[in-house]
């Protein structure tokens, strides 16, 4: 009996998630509040999720990402950058999204150089990430660098992005994707 009790204690000590699994309910409610534009409620719920949710490191990093996106939507760009930086410091498997989001926030804050650095870090973390090219193109537009913006939009397409905002940019710039891609076949369904 003592051996069995000892074995159970060892298993529980080595596997805390068996006893205390994470609870993402508050985080999901927070995201729903953010999506509905209830930012103060979302931030309160994210805070509760962090305090009581027994989050894994990846979930904790994603929660800080979502806090950053909430602050960004609210227009609190410095707080957004701080939350996204906290997420990046946790080095989650999808850190490229944190770099992308922080780059977008820097762009919104008129910090072009910082935005460009984060877009590069996103691409270093996930080479060929199509959204980075698109968002970098948007940043170039903000700074009236239209030739660079056009190049980024074409790169986004080459890397598989197929969204209405990208197609709108093609129309705005008069981009003929078949001509731009040359011998590569442009396929709207290709990702």
Domain tally for the chain?
Answer: 2
- Report whether 77 contacts 40 (CB < 8 A): no
> Quick check: is 15 in a domain?
no
Instruction: Single out the residue in 60, 84, 118 at which a domain terminates.
Output: 118
Whole-number pLDDT of residue 179: 83
Residues 92 and 64 in one domain: yes
Residue 83, domain extent: 24-118
Residues 100 and 135 in one domain: no
For the chain, give the DSSP string. Answer: -HHHHHHHHHHHHH-HHHHS----HHHHHHHHHHHTT-HHHHHHHHHHHHHHS---HHHHHHHHHHHHHHHHHHT-HHHHHHHHHHHHHT--TTHHHHHHHHHHHHHHTT-HHHHHHHHHHHHHHSTT-HHHHHHHHHHHHHTT-HHHHHHHHHHHHHTT---HHHHHHHHHHT--HHHHHTTS---TT--
> Quick check: is 46 in a domain?
yes
Q: What percent of the chain has pLDDT over 70?
A: 84
pLDDT digits (tens, 9 = 90+) for 38-89: 999 999 999 999 999 999 999 999 999 999 999 999 999 999 999 999 999 9
* CA atoms within 13 A of residue 18's CA, in its CB half-sphere: 8
Asked if pLDDT for residue 161 goes beyond 90, the answer is yes
Whole-number pLDDT of residue 1: 55
Residues 41 and 114 in one domain: yes
> Quick check: is 134 in a domain?
yes
Residues 59 and 132 in one domain: no
pTM of the model: 0.84
pLDDT digits (tens, 9 = 90+) for 107-123: 999 999 999 999 999 99
Residues 174 and 88 in one domain: no
> Quick check: is 34 in a domain?
yes
Asked if pLDDT for residue 169 goes beyond 50, the answer is yes
Q: Region 77-105: what's the mean pLDDT?
A: 98
Whole-number pLDDT of residue 181: 75
Residues 97 and 151 in one domain: no
């Amino acid at each position: 009996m003592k051996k069995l009790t000892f074995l159970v204690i060892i298993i529980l000590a080595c596997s805390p998630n068996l006893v205390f699994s994470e609870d993402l309910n508050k985080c999901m409610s927070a995201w729903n509040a953010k999506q509905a534009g209830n930012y103060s409620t979302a931030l309160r719920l994210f805070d509760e999720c962090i305090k009581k949710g027994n989050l894994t490191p990846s979930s904790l990093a994603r929660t800080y990402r979502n806090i950053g996106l909430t602050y960004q939507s609210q227009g609190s760009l410095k707080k957004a950058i701080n939350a996204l930086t906290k997420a990046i410091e946790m080095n989650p498997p999808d850190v490229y999204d944190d770099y992308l989001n922080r780059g977008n926030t820097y762009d919104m804050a008129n910090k072009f150089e910082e935005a460009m650095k984060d877009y590069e870090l996103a691409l270093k973390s996930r080479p060929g990430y199509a959204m980075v090219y698109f968002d970098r193109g948007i940043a170039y537009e903000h700074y009236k660098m239209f030739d660079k913006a056009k190049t980024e939009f074409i790169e986004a397409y080459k890397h598989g992005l197929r969204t209405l905002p990208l197609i709108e940019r093609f129309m705005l710039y008069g981009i003929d994707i078949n001509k731009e891609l040359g011998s590569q076949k442009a396929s709207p369904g290709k990702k």
